[in-house]
Amino acid sequence: MAQQKLREAALELLIRIGEHGGFSHLLIDQAIKKNAFDRRDEALLTEIVYGTIQRKLTLEYYLSHFVDGKKKMDAWVKWLLWMSMYQMIYLDKIPDHAILNEAVDISKKRGHKGISSLVNGVLRNVQRKGLPDMNGITDPARRLSLSTSHPEWLVRRWLTFYGEQITVEMCQANLTHKPMSVRVQPLKLTRQEAMEELEAEGLKVEPSIFSSQGIIICEGNVLRTKLFQEHNLSVQDQSSMLVAEMLEVEPDMTVLDACSAPGGKTTHIAEKMQNLGAVHAYDLHEKKAKLVTKRATELELSIIEAKQADSRQLQDLHEKESFDRILLDAPCSGLGVLRGKPDIKYHKREEDVRTLAAIQLELLESVCPLLKKDGKLLYSTCTVDKDENEQNIERFLQLHPEFEVDSTFTTQLPTPLQESIGLSAYGLQLFPFEFDTDGFFLTRLVKKK
């Protein structure tokens, strides 16, 4: 009964995420708390929901070989079949008969006898006949799209930008788990002290090469540790930690964080400044700006002033050349974080990417007059799209000859990153398979005059 409750919860989550566009990480967290699942069930629920969403297009392709395409099915029936097939194909610790029986029981409960017969018949056919072979698909982009469950337009776009090898590796990496990483609040304790405390609580950890404050959690749940609950640690991807490291901030500087929520990079900047100076943080939404203030308070950082504002209008609030450093962590398509938020890839369209690229350039244009001469501007996104990254920087530099890519940017990167395949004349594109991080872009511009 406990396993059926878990699978009913998984199905409900899949319908809400897949059909209604709910945020996967928030909904899963809510469901775990509401149902008070233990740690094992929590892990299985997360695996089933993320795994089914991650493999949705592949599962859809497989299912099409077992169901008449003209047959109409309710959305919940499709999700139940995909969810059950995911477990049968990709999870090896659950026997097929248990998956099948629970799927039939759920379909009886939610539907009627005809639906439960259909579910039973389809899953037994999958068991008996096996899966269709994708090698017969002659178009390589379509084959990669279906085998790794990425929309075809996205695969074709990445093939154009990066070629076959990088695209294949990126698609495959997006189907794997990424290790969690955290950042130490260095004004409270050192990284070494934090690592020793985490190991004493039974976790396996490693230092990050991206930041002297970063720790990779190889094994164990850091969210349940005393250090995390007492706000000595912040969850942050390693690629994201690189931003404050490369912004080159110092104590007593005046810094603008133009798109700051939820505040991970903002608070890291304040930590790097030893809580001396001023960080002006803005977000388009007041509620999100309040989140930044809350996080700063939890980390005992007093130099952050977070407010609501459209960053395209900050020239109304600040004089020209007011800031020593500017961070523009621009709103983006999020195509670099598909390992943790796989639902993003099904909701985005190619035209969304073009629209976002235009907004990003507008933001760059709007904040650049606020930077002092010889000041530095760091531009970052959590995407792997050239239009939003290198090409936007190229456009900006053509329009603003007073800016250039900081010549010391590459040599100041952590040594292994200086050999990255994503380095170009316009910045660093991190791919998710390269250093086991999110796909992320950053570059540092300097204002010459």
Q: Which two tokens stand for residue 5?
A: 């409750």
Residue 228 burial by Cβ neighbours in a 10 Å radius (0-12, 13-18, 19+): middle
Structure tokens at 2: 């406990």
- 343, 311, 387: which is closest to 20 by C-alpha? 343
Cα–Cα distance between 301 and 304 in angstroms, integer?
Answer: 7
Element (H, E) at 427: strand 427-430
The answer to whether residues 244 and 208 touch, using CB atoms and an 8 Å cutoff, is no
- Determine whether 218 is an active site residue: no
Longest dimension (CA), the chain: 75
**Of 72, 58, 233, 30, the residue nearest 145 (C-alpha):** 58
CA dihedral 108, 114, 117, 119 (to 10 degrees): -70
In the chain, the amino acid numbered 298 is E
Cα separations in angstroms, 184 against 187, 190, 213, 230, 306: 9, 7, 5, 12, 22
CA distance 136 to 24: 33
- Going through 288-369 in order, the beta strands assigned E by DSSP cover 304-308, 323-329
Cα 54 to the center of its chain, rounded Å: 13
Q: Rounded to 10 degrees, what is the CA torsion of 52, 55, 56, 61? A: -130
According to DSSP, residue 312 is labeled G
Integer Rg of the chain from CA:
24
The three-class DSSP label of residue 138 is coil
Q: Tally DSSP H helices, then E strands, for the chain.
A: 18, 13
What's the sign of the alpha-carbon dihedral 217, 428, 289, 269?
positive
Q: Which of 171, 259, 368, 382 is catalytic?
A: 382
Token pair for 77: 């029936």
Residue positions annotated with a catalytic role: 382
